[in-house]
Structure 1
Amino acid sequence: MADDDFNMSMRKFLKRVGVTSQQQIEEAVRAARDAGTLPAGALKAEVVLKVEGIDLTHRIEGEISQPDD
């Protein structure tokens, strides 16, 4: 696989991950807010990326600030 093809494929995958993850978080925050179960303060988040075939597991932890209302 040429480097350009590899990079394009990886960027396409990561864009999909970013877009769909943001949509899922926004939906879950709205649902929790509507249900009155949204906790106060920043939301702790964790993403685990696994790539089969190369034995890669990568964990990212962080916080997501609450939207202002």
Structure 2
Amino acid sequence: MNEEALNLSIRKFLKMVGIRSQREIEQAVQKALAAGQVKGTESFPAKMRLTVEGLQVDVTFEGEIELA
């Protein structure tokens, strides 16, 4: 196994997930604000599930998205 290649591959995957996730959340917030569905002071529970087939990885991360 090439540890450097593994590390690079994991970082690339996490960067893609982070950027795309942030965009999705920002767009959802803007849409909800524009529709008057939220005021901009709320917080929302958030959950992210990571699965890696073939490695028996299935982990859920939980947190909070705060608008103010």
The alignment's TM-score, normalised by the length of structure 2, stands at 0.90
CA offsets, 1:9-43, max 9 Å, x none?
A: 00000000000000000000000111111265211
Aligned residues: 67
Unaligned residue ranges in structure 2 (runs of 5+) = none
Letter in 2 for 1:15: K
Aligned to 1:46: 47
Aligned to 2:27: 27
> What's the % identity of the aligned pairs?
42
Unaligned residue ranges in structure 1 (runs of 5+) = none
Q: Give me the CA root mean square deviation.
A: 1.3
Runs of 4+ in 1 over 6 A off after TM superposition: none
Aligned to 2:12: 12
CA–CA distance in structure 1, aligned partners of residues 38 and 50 of structure 2: 26
The alignment's TM-score, normalised by the length of structure 1, stands at 0.89
CA offsets, 1:24-67, max 9 Å, x none?
A: 00000000111111265211100001110011101000101104
